[in-house]
Amino acid sequence: MDNSIQTLINQRFPVLDKGFVELQDMMGDDLAIVNAARVSFLGESKGPERDKKLLFYLMQHRHTSPFEMVEFKFRVRAPLVVWWQWVRHRTWHMNAQSGRYTPFEEEDFYLPAVWRQQARDNKQASEGELYTPDSDKLTVLLEEHYTRGYALYQQALAAGVAREQARLFLPGFSVYYTWVTKVDAHNLLHFLRLRMADDAQWEIRQYAQTIYQKVVKTALPWTAEAFETFILKSDS
């Protein structure tokens, strides 16, 4: 494994107020993509310049299967409002923390730093910060909601209610869960193209940008450069 990749393993990159992204393992690198493409005629590396040129050709012309030869395994802690979006990408393999086995902690809730306005032209999106005298009050109300919900959860557990039912008292979309996820490079780039876009939900954009900036650009520098040149720029 390349030293630059090795330094990433088990690094924890903070996201949102209490979340993180951690690369647990990785298989392959830029050269693995190139060699996978050349196997069609039993070729191998032809030096950095020609190898990089081939990788750029693959990205430009959407020859995607060689990129599937590289895999990432992440450990991610995110609120359910993020996972609700993430699981739509069915090419990811996921195993999630279960509230049936693990009790939740008092701080396991997402508290947004700012409140956003509803977008005028997009029914499913937000747009800009909400500046009103009520903004701080809304944050206090949300904190009180979390405190009361967690107290009821604890009360139910103390009464002997099963964890799988007691969690009904918890504020649903804000609860943090930890997942282990695995994906190949081709489908990771597809995820990043969609979830780093301006019209993606703000919270999941923070996870996508962290994965791209902190992991992908270090682990697959040629791939990241080609991705920006032929995919991201074509979307803008």
Residue 105 CB contacts under 8 Å (≥ 6 apart), including other chains: none
Contact call for residues 188 and 150 (beta carbons, < 8 A): no
The DSSP code sequence of 68-132 is GG-EEEEEEEEEHHHHHHHTT-TTSEEEE--TTTSPPPTT-B---SS-EEEPSS-TT-EEEE--S
State which amino acid sits at residue 125: A
* Token code pair at residue 167: 């969690």
Cα separation, 34 vs 67, in Å, equals 9
Cα separation, 88 vs 200, in Å, equals 13
DSSP-based three-state secondary structure for 170? coil
Count the neighbouring beta carbons within 10 Å of the beta carbon of residue 16. 20
The one catalytic residue among 12, 77, 100, 195? 195
Contact call for residues 37 and 66 (beta carbons, < 8 A): yes
Active site residue 195: yes
Contact call for residues 230 and 29 (beta carbons, < 8 A): no
Cα separation, 174 vs 108, in Å, equals 8
Residues marked as catalytic: 195
